[in-house]
Structure 1
Amino acid sequence: MRWYHEITPVEKRTLWSCFGGWALDAVDTQVFSLVIPSLLATWSISKGQAGLIGGATLVAGALGGLLAGILSDRVGRVRALQITVIWFSLFTFLSAFAQSFEQLLVLKALQGVGFGGEWTAGAVLLSETMNPKHRGKAMGIVQSAWGFGWGAAVLLYMAVFSFASPQWAWRVLFAIGLVPALLVLYLRRNVVEPPREPQVARDDVAPRGTFGIAAGIFDPAVIRTTLVGGLIGLGAHGGYHAITTWLPTYLKTERHLSVLGTGGYLAVVIVAFIAGCFLSAWLQDRIGRRWNVILFAVCCAVMVNIYTFLPIGDTTMLILSFPLGLFSAGIPATLGALFNELYPQGVRGTGVGFCYNFGRIVSAGFPVLIGHMSASMSLGAALGIDAGVAYGLVVVAALMLPNTRGRLVPAPQPGSVRNDAPAASRN
């Protein structure tokens, strides 16, 4: 951790603010996957309907991520982060009062808008604040916050379900989702806006308006990056959300684990996820973002199919949970640095928001598809097939991008979004 002592107080405050925001976001989001069995029983809904709630949240998250990217290019990274944190906290809290499947569907979709937006605003803020040689490590550490938040969600789940009946416990968990709004108070006092490049501040943003900023990522100079980045986002989110949405239900309904047993298995995956983020953080600053993504995608595709297809016992499954969690962490821990290093500042927030969140629109079909596929095959088989296809797409798309490592694209010339400097260093 020698590098941590080299960064400035401003970089440290920004790092931990983004870390806290992402961890709290994970708590709010992961609670849903843990309470699916309770929702199935409370409202007698099908697995397909439960998957639809998860899918709607992902679609809304994609829209929120894109909107937050545009917003951060318009009003600044810090202000956009504040808005998204308040948004997802409020609608998670309101979800506790849903009286029907339809109401919960709408509230979770609205929560997803803030969920997707928070990552985008925070990733761009951290990328522009950190020293380039430490950007990958900082992004990886912030991504590990998802594991800490996931772990906190599991602990809350076990604690609340130990004293409250299932029909009330899930409401208590959603109500706790208001807590992240307190982070805004810290953001207002301790985190500063990164400086704008002179050309961006003078010409690139305000005159073009919101539509111009959004359209800028489809400029001929960067459209290939936008399309390929979107495919990576699709595969990464498709595989990851297929696993995290249905893994608790798979362990409970097909492996017949108790609530405590499910928590024990998830604990291994979560610890491994955190370790994988730290490994990815260290590795991506050495071999570059592209090869790091490919390495972890291949390993994850192999592991998830071993985990779900082979006739293995509980002990072996517990052991294999560690590499599954480790490899699933490497891709999201790399995407923040990768996407930020492909766009100029004037459209960076929009570009990062699109690449990371576009995949959520289409990948929202993965949880829904798994739910429907499980009607004609085992849930584990449906999970393994969908995740394998998703991670294969990541590998193919990543091969089409340059291997970025530490360089941000400078501001474009007036009236254009041209990339006149190399988007990234290449190995």
Structure 2
Amino acid sequence: MFSWYGEVSKNERRTFWACFGGWALDALDVQMFSLVIPAIIAEWGISKTEAGLVSGVTLIASALGGWICGAAADRIGRVRTLQITVAWFSVFTLLSAFAQNFPEFIVLKALQGFGFGGEWAAGAVLMAETIRNQHRGKAMGAVQSAWAVGWAAAVLLYAAVFSFLPPAMGWRVMFAVGMLPALLVIYIRRHIKEPEAPAAKIKKDGGAVERMPLLSIFAPDVLRMTLIGGLLGVGAHGGYSALTTWLPTFLKTERHLSVLGTGGYLAVIILAFFCGCLAASVLLDAIGRRQTILLFSVCCVATVILYVFLPMSNHAMLALGFPLGFFAAGIPASMGALFNELYPRGTRGTGVGFCYNFGRVVSAGFPVLVGHLASQFSLGFAIGTSAAFAYAIVVVSILMLPETRGRTLADEPAA
């Protein structure tokens, strides 16, 4: 599974770890909110729908950040854009700890989301253009597993902080820790090089990189890829957001688990997510991008329905939590490689940033929808219905995209 790591160059390994660290720290910052929703609801007396609105606004901002910063990566370079976005979301995560009221908190979370979306876009293109073709799927799938590492760190931090501090102080301490990712900028600045492909383009054109506007991804030769890729993003992010935003609250309020009990359940799902990313990384280069995403999305629909609809004991839920996390991992672990291989070099950052993050705009409605449905039905029903519908969208969209396994990242769009 990891034999490819010994075959890549020192620069490829450094780039891998820089993107791995950035994605893990992103997850730490983002997943903290889902864990502290009950504390924030209690402090400001907001409804579940309003709490879901925070996630919705953050997702919209991250979508804009992904699109705009993806275009910036095409203009000023992948590495420089990555540095800026990591510093950006770190600062606004820290400032969120000092929000004095709910409106301030929403604004700060939106600004955090802008940097978070931009970081993924810049990092994904940097990875795709640095790692050689035969190992691209494995490397990018493995990087996605960093989300589980950051998620686990958030759960451990939550368990530690909320065991010793009152909720009103605990959630602020957690967000203050979110400043840590800024340290990654120092490593990136010293050790990561701009991919060779853009450098060659600069030399060939006498020092000027081709400038592609934000709307270039809607040109006739790539329009179909943009529309279907965006639809895939809607399903992938919609299902994931419906699950992860509300799952801790579901376990605590409807399953009545303690802080440590909730952490135990999440630990199973997080471990499964990590394993699922690694499994997808192998399958991407073995059976292809389309078959991998199709397999994981079909399995997601089935396991989500079982997890929240079947009457089960807590131990049965714990056992089923592993396949839930495992299959939920395969889709995001596959999207980076697929989207990079759909676009030509000059507009790749813009296209990858848009397709991955457009789904965030539409999927922003899923946490809000779950909160709204939960006011009329059970929270489990709301989560299950929303997530199953989202993953069904993934099944439909992936069937309309071409297979891109082994494709060289050239100047021409995918057929």
| The two structures share one fold, judged by TM-score above 0.5 | yes
Is this contact kept in 2: 1:73–1:205, CA < 8 A? Answer: no
Matching residue of 1:265 = 265
Q: Which amino acid aligns with 1:315?
A: H
| Deviation by residue 1:178-207 (Cα, 9 ceiling, x = unmatched) | 110000000001000002165576569968
Please give the TM-score of this superposition, normalised by the length of structure 1: 0.95
For 2:263 and 2:73, how far apart are their aligned partners in 1? 37
Matching residue of 2:20 = 19
For 1:174 and 1:359, how far apart are their aligned partners in 2? 26
Matching residue of 2:309 = 309
Is this contact kept in 2: 1:120–1:353, CA < 8 A? Answer: yes
**Aligned 1:284-299 pairs, distance under 5 A:** 284-299=284-299
Matching residue of 2:45 = 44
Matching residue of 1:374 = 374
Is this contact kept in 2: 1:205–1:346, CA < 8 A? Answer: no
Per the TM alignment, residue 80 of structure 1 is displaced from its structure 2 partner at its CA by: 0.4
Gaps of 5+ in 1: 413-418
Residue 244 (structure 1) aligned with residue 244 (structure 2): yes
Q: Which amino acid aligns with 2:297?
A: A
Distance 1:173 1:204, change over 3 A: farther
Is this contact kept in 2: 1:344–1:408, CA < 8 A? Answer: no
Is this contact kept in 2: 1:269–1:321, CA < 8 A? Answer: yes
Is this contact kept in 2: 1:200–1:346, CA < 8 A? Answer: no
Partner-residue secondary structure (3-state), 1:387: helix
For 1:220 and 1:331, how far apart are their aligned partners in 2? 27
Matching residue of 1:87 = 88
Q: Which amino acid aligns with 1:81?
A: L
Is this contact kept in 1: 2:129–2:409, CA < 8 A? Answer: no
Matching residue of 1:75 = 76
Q: Which moved more, 1:198-207 or 1:104-113?
A: 198-207
Is this contact kept in 1: 2:125–2:349, CA < 8 A? Answer: yes
Matching residue of 1:109 = 110
Matching residue of 2:141 = 140
Q: Which amino acid aligns with 1:13?
A: R
Q: Which amino acid aligns with 1:121?
A: A
Partner-residue secondary structure (3-state), 1:217: helix
Partner-residue secondary structure (3-state), 2:213: helix
> What is the RMSD of the two structures over their aligned residues, measured on CA atoms?
1.5
| Deviation by residue 1:112-157 (Cα, 9 ceiling, x = unmatched) | 0011111110000000000110000100110000000000000000
For 2:288 and 2:366, how far apart are their aligned partners in 1? 29
Q: List structure 1 runs of 4+ shifted beyond 3 angstroms.
A: 197-209
Matching residue of 1:230 = 230
Percent of aligned pairs with the same residue? 62
Q: Which amino acid aligns with 1:248?
A: P
Per the TM alignment, residue 315 of structure 1 is displaced from its structure 2 partner at its CA by: 0.6
**Aligned 1:412-423 pairs, distance under 5 A:** 412=412, 419=413, 423=414
Q: Which amino acid aligns with 1:128?
A: E
Matching residue of 1:352 = 352
Gaps of 5+ in 2: none
Distance 1:261 1:197, change over 3 A: same
Per the TM alignment, residue 92 of structure 1 is displaced from its structure 2 partner at its CA by: 0.2
Matching residue of 2:55 = 54
- How many matched pairs? 413
Residue 320 (structure 1) aligned with residue 320 (structure 2): yes
For 1:31 and 1:5, how far apart are their aligned partners in 2? 34
For 2:57 and 2:27, how far apart are their aligned partners in 1? 17
Distance 1:187 1:7, change over 3 A: same
Is this contact kept in 2: 1:197–1:411, CA < 8 A? Answer: no
For 2:251 and 2:325, how far apart are their aligned partners in 1? 15
Matching residue of 1:184 = 185
For 1:37 and 1:131, how far apart are their aligned partners in 2? 45
Partner-residue secondary structure (3-state), 2:99: coil
Per the TM alignment, residue 406 of structure 1 is displaced from its structure 2 partner at its CA by: 2.2
For 1:333 and 1:205, how far apart are their aligned partners in 2? 35
Is this contact kept in 1: 2:301–2:392, CA < 8 A? Answer: yes
| Deviation by residue 1:90-123 (Cα, 9 ceiling, x = unmatched) | 0000000001110100000000001111111000
For 1:169 and 1:359, how far apart are their aligned partners in 2? 32
Matching residue of 1:415 = none
Is this contact kept in 2: 1:200–1:411, CA < 8 A? Answer: no
| Deviation by residue 1:356-401 (Cα, 9 ceiling, x = unmatched) | 0000001000000110111110010011010011000001000000
Per the TM alignment, residue 408 of structure 1 is displaced from its structure 2 partner at its CA by: 3.3
Is this contact kept in 2: 1:197–1:345, CA < 8 A? Answer: no
| Deviation by residue 1:301-345 (Cα, 9 ceiling, x = unmatched) | 110110000111101000000000000000000000000001111
For 1:145 and 1:71, how far apart are their aligned partners in 2? 24
Please give the TM-score of this superposition, normalised by the length of structure 2: 0.97
